């Protein structure tokens, strides 16, 4: 039954010595092996994980444990992990063994957490369904004919199926929150700069942010405590003080002002998703919250704005994959230019190529002002909308995604339909705000629905408090797919 427990509960068991980290780690490794059909992991190193678990048990024995010591955690395969394959879901990095740890990995190791393995993901985090991975699609544990969401689909599926107590993810336009909603788990995207991006393979540098994917808001707070903080290796890392996110989890919600943006409840929202979200908001009313109607008039511009800015940054960031220094190199080529072209043609998948071409076009002479500069201006308008509504309310709420998980293959031939799946999440990244998705119920097909809560800059503590109080009076976050219970 260990796999049904949260980080907080497992940490208590380890402290009481009712189990060891080696026993926990071995148990989760066995579950990973047993449920390979989900394709949630790219790399699992059993020997290394058990070695770290033994070291954690020594720390616990000597009274040097933190809340994460001995807890096995799955890591999204976007974080460089020393001595382990780090692929970012791409063929072009299929032979890359990282020589160093990303700051996030280093901090979790320092806290005593055990690296279970590296989870599958959309190639270079580009995708909303985890179908662009070179290693094949991840399946949703609630219905294996459906997608788990993306790009952090492997982390979401692993956590939902309890192939790990929790996992790390990254969110560029919704890639923590949307898969969290599709898989019925809790996913937090912190404020931009709250968690170091050093050693996190870049997609769109002004948007990418790492965060925890967990069973509960309390677990997310425990993980964020270890992950957050200034890093002098990352120039975009914030020096704002990091509170203990677990301290304020139980604060009363009496008088909390919840803003409901009218744009989040309009055309395109599935009626069953809307119904579940409205019921969740009803629970908050019972907890003493006040509802405020607000508007984000420029939110409809978020998707086109994002799909100019993100590909533009990607076209720059991915230029380093040329076959010269590391990663894949084409076997046969003529001159240097031919090697570049063949390496990139063979190494990148279709979605990555599509975004590189879009981004290069948007940055090219004659189009920069018309596309990239205009998108940056729209980004400022979107951020200003949030600033104005937060004068009227403390948090915003709405659906995480307009639908529940869709069938594998349903949207692979229609990139625009795939992009629109992130319509409620993208604006949060453009503004650099924190957002969290929590399980709020199910549709008539038994698929999870996520409630998104958006906060003010660096107000993760309030988001986690608001999410935790909801989870104290509901049990949606405790539900598991039957086949994996």
Tell whether the model's pLDDT for residue 1 goes beyond 90: no
Residue 401 in tokens:
């995604």
Output phi, psi for 231, to 5 deg.
-140, 115
SS3 at position 50: helix
Please state, in angstroms and rounded to a whole number, the distance separating the CA atoms of residues 174 and 161. 21
Please state, in angstroms and rounded to a whole number, the distance separating the CA atoms of residues 12 and 6. 10
Please state, in angstroms and rounded to a whole number, the distance separating the CA atoms of residues 192 and 394. 19
Rounded percentage of the chain residues whose pLDDT exceeds 70: 100
Contacts of 117 (CB under 8 A, 6+ apart): 32, 41, 42, 43, 44, 45, 49, 74, 75
What residue segments make up the domains of the chain, in order of their start?
A: 2-240+437-450+463-484, 300-374
Mean pLDDT along residues 233-251:
97
Mean pLDDT along residues 31-39:
97
Mean pLDDT along residues 218-239:
97
Tell me how long the chain is: 485
Threshold 0.85, pTM exceeds? yes
Residue 92 is predicted with a pLDDT of: 97
Summarize pLDDT for 320-367 with one digit per residue, the tens.
999 998 999 999 999 999 999 999 999 999 999 999 999 999 999 888
Tell whether the model's pLDDT for residue 416 goes beyond 90: no
For residue 94, the Cα-to-chain-centroid distance in whole angstroms is 22
Output phi, psi for 42, to 5 deg.
-95, -45
- Write out the catalytic residue numbers: 76, 151, 175
Summarize pLDDT for 422-438 with one digit per residue, the tens.
899 999 999 999 999 99
Tell whether the model's pLDDT for residue 414 goes beyond 90: no
Q: Average pLDDT, whole number, for the chain?
A: 96
**If you search the block for the tokens 């002004």, which residue do you land on?**
206
Summarize pLDDT for 109-141 with one digit per residue, the tens.
999 999 999 999 999 999 999 999 999 999 999
Residue 485 is predicted with a pLDDT of: 87
Domain 2-240+437-450+463-484 classification at class level:
alpha beta
């Amino acid at each position: 039954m260990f796999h049904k427990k949260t980080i907080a509960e497992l940490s208590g068991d380890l402290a009481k010595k009712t189990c060891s980290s080696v026993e926990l780690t071995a148990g989760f490794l066995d579950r990973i092996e047993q449920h390979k059909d989900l394709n949630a992991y790219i790399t699992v190193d059993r020997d290394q994980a058990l070695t770290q678990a033994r070291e954690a048990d020594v720390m616990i024995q000597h009274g040097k444990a933190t809340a994460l010591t001995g807890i096995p955690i799955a890591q999204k395969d976007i974080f460089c992990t020393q001595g382990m394959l780090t692929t970012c879901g791409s063929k072009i990095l299929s032979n890359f063994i990282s020589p160093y740890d990303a700051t996030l990995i280093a901090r979790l190791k320092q806290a005593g957490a055990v690296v279970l393995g590296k989870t599958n993901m959309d190639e270079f985090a580009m995708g909303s369904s985890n179908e662009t991975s070179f290693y094949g699609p991840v399946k949703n544990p609630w219905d294996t004919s459906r997608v788990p969401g993306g790009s952090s689909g492997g982390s979401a599926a692993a956590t939902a199926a309890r192939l790990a107590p929790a996992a790390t993810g990254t969110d560029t336009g919704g890639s923590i929150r949307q898969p969290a909603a599709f898989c019925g788990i809790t996913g937090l995207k912190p404020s931009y700069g709250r968690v170091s991006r050093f050693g996190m393979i870049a997609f769109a540098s002004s948007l990418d942010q790492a965060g925890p994917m967990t069973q509960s808001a309390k677990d997310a707070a425990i993980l964020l405590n270890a992950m957050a903080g200034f890093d002098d290796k990352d120039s975009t890392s914030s020096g704002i003080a990091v509170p203990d996110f677990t301290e304020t989890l139980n604060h009363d919600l009496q008088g909390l002002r919840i803003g409901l943006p009218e744009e989040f409840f309009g055309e395109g929202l599935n009626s069953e998703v809307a119904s579940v979200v409205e019921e969740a908001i009803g629970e908050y009313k019972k907890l003493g919250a006040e509802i405020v109607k607000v508007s984000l008039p420029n939110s409809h511009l978020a998707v086109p704005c994002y799909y100019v800015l993100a590909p533009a940054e990607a076209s720059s960031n991915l230029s380093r994959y040329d076959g010269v220094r590391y990663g894949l190199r084409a076997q046969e080529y003529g001159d240097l230019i031919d090697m570049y072209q063949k390496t990139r043609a063979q190494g990148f998948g279709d979605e990555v190529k599509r975004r590189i071409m879009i981004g290069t076009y948007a940055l090219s002479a004659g189009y920069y002002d018309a596309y990239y500069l205009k998108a940056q201006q729209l980004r400022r308008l979107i951020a200003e909308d949030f600033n104005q509504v937060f004068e009227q309310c403390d948090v915003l709420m709405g659906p995480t995604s307009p639908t529940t998980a869709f069938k594998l293959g349903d949207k692979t031939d229609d990139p625009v339909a795939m992009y629109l799946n992130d319509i409620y999440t993208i604006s949060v990244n453009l503004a650099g705000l924190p957002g969290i998705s929590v399980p709020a119920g199910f549709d008539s097909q038994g698929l999870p629905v996520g409630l998104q809560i958006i906060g003010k800059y660096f107000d993760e503590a309030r988001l986690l408090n608001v999410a935790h109080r909801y989870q104290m009076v509901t049990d949606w976050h405790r539900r598991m797919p039957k086949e994996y219970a």
